[in-house]
């Protein structure tokens, strides 16, 4: 880590330092700075008052705290702020000469030419996992960081000159970046996280930072089928070499042609579609993005096909829980927006029961309501505030299918067993955040799987 000390020291440049938010990422930022600069004055600001009880931190005489409800009052008092992704600065005006940075910003500054950065509203975790799997299977040195892996600064000592770093990047991580990765992958752009940003446009602009600072020798891979994304790409005027992908053939766009992936350079890769371990057309887009990435790296993409077949899909993403009492239970708890749920619905021809709803983040559900009008699902089980909003909207349009409501996952699964036909699919794809009743989407999916398996023997 010592070899990067001079660059980080130049970054700090004598300025006062605040770490805003002390979760996993904030803590790893502190550890990195403290290991390199034992006498650097650092202030940590966080809502959690119990952090001051940490005995290890109490021994740091160069560390100060601003804790509790007023923790944000520390923000304007410092020149250099390393912000944790989850904290919103919506509406905040920086003070003169103040710089808002982040661990992501610092890490890309240090290792940008070795990074494949992947963003998008949905599909990030699957795509970074697939790219990492393809690289490792091919014998390349690869490290996986970001939302799906460890905080980026924790892997510095494992990075060699020929290591490729696959980085899952959220809008929160990209928001204050002044650097972009060598290969930037942008999967899609939909409405989400409106509780964090001052506007939907601000969310979009945060995402586009992934290519904003790229150079001519970099690569930008993006989904040309997503019209909003395509328009934002056109506006940002990236300097990178552009490698767009799409499902059906478009001009200068890698695409799927029956049983072949056709890349931007015209290269055709034969694929046995039924051996791809990822369900749904949206996942084919993720695969195309991954193959474009391998092509940009100069790898033999034909060799990647066999590695693709051995990829293990991630939990909570169109995950088959199992078949119980003849019902195929699918867990897609990761689906927190309407577009993701629509894609999930389209994956299953024999969908009988759909579980929707959760925490309300002020997302517009008119697209999902219109879709369900045109392609009704036989049974809906609705949860939470979003479930109530969806029910209200569906009743207004005289929706004819069966609508049930439930408060707890135990009740949801009991209803699913009662109303879903044998040989049919019951799909949890909520189109909403999980934070009303669950710790996160993983907890929601785990509870769903647990209840499905627990109740089966008793029916």
CATH code, domain with 128: 3.40.1190.10
- Same structural domain, 367 and 446: yes
Q: Is residue 345 part of a domain?
A: yes
* Model pLDDT, residue 192: 65
- Same structural domain, 140 and 286: yes
Neighbours of 304 (CB within 10 A): 25
Q: Is residue 429 part of a domain?
A: yes
**pLDDT digit string, tens, across residues 248-287:** 888 889 999 999 999 998 999 999 999 999 999 999 999 9
Q: Which of 275, 309, 343 is the last residue of a domain?
A: 309
Q: What is the mean pLDDT of residues 303-325?
A: 95
Q: How confident is residue 88, by pLDDT bands cut at 50, 70 and 90?
A: confident
Task: Tell me the sheet residues that pair with 150.
Answer: 145
Q: Is residue 9 part of a domain?
A: no
Q: How confident is residue 55, by pLDDT bands cut at 50, 70 and 90?
A: confident
User: Can you give the residue range of the structural domain that contains 53?
Assistant: 14-101
Q: What is the mean pLDDT of residues 226-234?
A: 91
* Model pLDDT, residue 378: 97
Handedness of CA 228, 230, 235, 238 (dihedral sign): positive
- Same structural domain, 369 and 299: no
Q: Is residue 381 part of a domain?
A: yes
The yes-or-no verdict on residue 427 having pLDDT over 90 is yes
Distance CA 127, CA 267 (A): 21
- Residue with more model confidence, 88 or 391: 391
Q: What's the pTM?
A: 0.89
Q: What is the mean pLDDT of residues 379-391?
A: 97
**pLDDT digit string, tens, across residues 314-324:** 899 999 999 99
Distance CA 308, CA 314 (A): 14
- Residue with more model confidence, 337 or 197: 337
Task: Return the CATH number at 66.
Answer: 3.40.50.720
- Same structural domain, 128 and 236: yes
Q: Which of 282, 309, 336 is the last residue of a domain?
A: 309
- Residue 119 three-state SS: strand
Distance CA 197, CA 193 (A): 7
The yes-or-no verdict on residue 193 having pLDDT over 70 is no
Distances (CA, A) of 407 to 365, 413, 436: 20, 11, 11
- Same structural domain, 183 and 298: yes
The yes-or-no verdict on residue 38 having pLDDT over 90 is yes
Q: Is residue 134 part of a domain?
A: yes
Q: Is residue 385 part of a domain?
A: yes
- Residue with more model confidence, 156 or 148: 156
- Same structural domain, 418 and 335: yes
- Same structural domain, 58 and 150: no
Nearest to 109 by CA among 222, 236, 208, 12: 12
Task: Return the CATH number at 438.
Answer: 3.90.190.20
- Same structural domain, 95 and 115: no
* Model pLDDT, residue 179: 96
Nearest to 213 by CA among 248, 182, 242, 188: 182
Q: Which of 101, 116, 134 is the last residue of a domain?
A: 101
Q: How confident is residue 411, by pLDDT bands cut at 50, 70 and 90?
A: very high
In the block, tokens 């000469």 appear at 97
- Same structural domain, 265 and 366: no
- Residue with more model confidence, 191 or 362: 362
Q: Are 329 and 420 in contact (CB under 8 A)?
A: no
* Model pLDDT, residue 150: 86
What total number of domains does the chain contain?
3
Q: What is the mean pLDDT of the chain?
A: 94
- Same structural domain, 299 and 323: no
Angle at which helices 200-212 and 227-236 cross, to 10°: 60
* Model pLDDT, residue 194: 58
* Model pLDDT, residue 414: 97
- Same structural domain, 60 and 208: no
Q: Is residue 7 part of a domain?
A: no
- Residue with more model confidence, 197 or 70: 70
Q: Is residue 169 part of a domain?
A: yes
* Model pLDDT, residue 195: 60
- Same structural domain, 72 and 114: no
């Amino acid at each position: 880590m010592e070899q990067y000390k001079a660059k980080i020291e130049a970054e700090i440049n004598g300025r006062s330092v605040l770490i805003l938010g002390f979760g996993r990422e904030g803590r790893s930022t502190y550890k990195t700075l403290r290991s390199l600069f034992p006498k650097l004055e650092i202030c940590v600001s966080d809502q959690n008052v119990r952090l001051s009880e940490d005995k290890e931190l109490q021994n740091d005489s160069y560390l100060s705290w601003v804790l509790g409800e007023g923790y944000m009052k520390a923000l304007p008092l410092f020149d250099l702020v390393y912000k944790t992704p989850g904290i919103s600065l919506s509406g905040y005006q920086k003070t003169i000469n103040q710089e808002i940075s982040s661990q992501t910003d610092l890490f890309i500054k240090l290792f940008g030419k070795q990074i494949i950065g992947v963003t998008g509203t949905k599909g990030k975790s699957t795509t970074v996992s697939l790219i990492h799997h393809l690289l490792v299977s091919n014998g390349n040195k690869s490290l996986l960081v970001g939302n799906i892996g460890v905080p980026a600064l924790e892997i510095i000592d494992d990075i060699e000159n020929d290591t490729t770093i696959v980085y899952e990047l959220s809008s929160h991580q990209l928001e204050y970046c002044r650097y972009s990765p060598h290969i930037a992958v942008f999967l899609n752009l939909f409405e989400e996280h409106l509780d964090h940003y001052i506007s939907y446009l601000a969310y979009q602009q945060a995402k586009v930072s992934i290519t904003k600072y790229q150079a001519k020798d970099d690569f930008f891979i993006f989904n040309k089928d997503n019209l909003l994304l395509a328009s934002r790409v056109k506006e940002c005027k990236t300097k990178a070499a552009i490698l767009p992908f799409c499902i059906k053939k478009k001009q200068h766009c890698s695409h799927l042609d029956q049983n072949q992936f056709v890349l931007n350079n015209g290269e055709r890769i034969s694929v046995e579609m039924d051996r791809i371990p990822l369900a749904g057309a949206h996942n084919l887009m993720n695969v195309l993005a991954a193959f474009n990435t391998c092509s940009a790296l100069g790898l033999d993409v034909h060799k990647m096909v066999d590695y693709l077949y051995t990829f293990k899909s991630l939990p909570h993403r169109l995950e088959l829980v199992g078949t119980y009492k003849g019902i195929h239970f699918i867990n897609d708890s990761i689906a927190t927006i309407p577009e993701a749920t629509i894609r999930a619905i389209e994956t299953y021809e024999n969908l009988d029961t759909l579980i929707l709803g959760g925490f309300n983040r002020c997302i517009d559900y008119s697209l999902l309501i219109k879709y369900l009008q045109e392609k009704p699902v036989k049974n809906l089980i609705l949860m939470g505030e979003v479930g109530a909003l969806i029910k209200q909207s569906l009743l207004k349009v005289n929706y004819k299918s069966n609508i049930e409501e439930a408060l707890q996952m135990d009740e949801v699964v009991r209803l699913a067993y009662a109303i879903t036909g044998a040989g049919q699919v019951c799909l949890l794809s909520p189109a909403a955040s999980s934070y009303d009743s669950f710790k996160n989407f993983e907890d929601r999916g785990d509870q769903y799987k647990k209840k499905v398996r627990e109740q089966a023997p008793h029916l």
